[in-house]
Structure 1
Amino acid sequence: MRAVFRGLAALGLLVLALAGWVLWFAARPPQEGSLAVRFARDMRFHHTQAVELSMHLLERPVSAPVRLLAQDIAVSQEAQIGQMGGWLDSWGLPFAGPAAPMQGMNLLAMGMATPQQVRSLDSLSAPQAETEYLQLMIQHHRGGVQMAQDGLKSGVGQVRTLARAIVNSQSAEIKLMSEMLRQRGAAVPVGLPGVGSGGMDIMPMK
């Protein structure tokens, strides 16, 4: 009987040790190189350009609906940049990792505008700049949705929550911007440019 009790006690200690290890591992913050960390850094970089595009447009005398949209995108994505920076701080990691942001991705296929496209928002007429902004932002959001769908696989609750919010909000804005372009008689971009290419040196779809 004593042997049975000793065996049960040893088993109980083993179960407690395993439970403690599981709890420690679950509470352990995401580590360098993990999907959650890459998502936070890459999406911060991607969001930064959306804010930049919006700020360029807001310097122009654009129509009220487009101005309101650009303001919303700039404010919401700037807030999310701060949120993801807060994660990295709490995880004890720097904002910049050992690899460049979005390294290995096709930037065009992720909706990133070229420097020339960004500058065009300053030189085009205000109505042309509005159309260019809507077209660029549709592509940018499509890339953002793809990146957020990867974030859903991170296994980290707060990352999954934000990724889901990005998918939902940016998908809705893509529909809104597409309708705004149709009302102007302007082309709605189809698909993402640059698929199959490794860099930024191909002509983006107009």
Structure 2
Amino acid sequence: MTERDGTRRLSRLLIAGSLAAVLTAVAVAVALLWPANGSGTPSRDSVDAGFARDMAVHHQQAVELSFIVRDRTDDEDVRRLAYDIINTQANQRGMLLGWLDAWDLPKSSQDPPMSWMGHGSMYEAHDGSLMPGMATNTQLDQLRQAKDEDAEILYLQLLTEHHKGGVAMSEAAAETAKIEDVRRLAQGMVEGQQAEMDLMADMLKARGATA
């Protein structure tokens, strides 16, 4: 095993361990509360289920990016943003997976990502990037190797693109999902990630860079 492989494996283990408790707790809570705040059980190919599956994958990578940069810089503003992303998106991911459990639906699908949006075939997955905005494996490796301001800039650029893809999916779910709680969560994601993109634009500008 090379040093890079070992680092990547360690990063994934740390992420998995950090998320396990959150996912379990949220899944149990959602299962207990559902369907008190719901309006029925969606089908496997519904917008609600497709959004839950795809956004869980999308969020997983945002958390991974944030764990990586946390160890590549001492800048308090970037580390604070990374901490917020880790907590917010891990929590939301747990909720999405908890809903799928409560609906008794699979957490993965053979359908192309975003097929619930009506254009799943428009994006060609490549180098680990499964949906719009997701970083490639090559970009993740670049972030693992960067340090200090170089790592900060790359992280902010990758996360900005990541948020753009997430906002597009969330907007679609906020408009077309059948279950009120799903629509509400999706709209919250739109508003939260747009605010973070504004913040990241300012942080990039302060570092002489752009998205």
Give the alignment's TM-score, normalised by structure 1.
Answer: 0.74
Identify the residue that residue 121 of structure 2 maps to in structure 1. 104
Which residue in the other structure is 1:179 paired with? 202
Contact 1:62 1:127 in 2 (8 A): no
Q: How many equivalent pairs are there? A: 163
Q: Deviations over 1:94-124 (max 9, x none)?
A: 2112335445352577211111111111111
- C-alpha deviation, 1:127, in angstroms: 1.1
Find the residue that maps to 1:31 and give its secondary structure: coil
The sequence identity of aligned pairs, in percent, is: 42
CA distance, structure 1, for counterparts of residue 40 and residue 73 of structure 2: 49
Report the CA distance between 1:143 and its aligned residue: 0.7
Q: Which residue of 2 is the match for residue 192 of structure 1?
A: none
Alignment partners' CA distance in 2, 1:105 and 1:133: 26
CA shift, 1:60, in A, is 1.8
RMSD after superposition: 1.7
For structure 2, the 5+ residue unaligned runs are 1-37, 115-119
Partner of 2:136: 114
Aligned match of 1:140 in 123, 146, 162? 162
Could you tell me whether the CA contact under 8 Å between 2:47 and 2:177 is conserved in 1? yes
Of 72, 75, 78, which aligns to 1:63? 75
Contact 1:51 1:77 in 2 (8 A): yes
Secondary structure of 1:92's counterpart equals coil
Aligned to 2:171: 149
- Asked if the contact 1:31–1:37 (Cα under 8 Å) also holds between the matched residues in 2, the reply is yes
Aligned partner (choices 48, 66, 83) of residue 36 of structure 1:
48
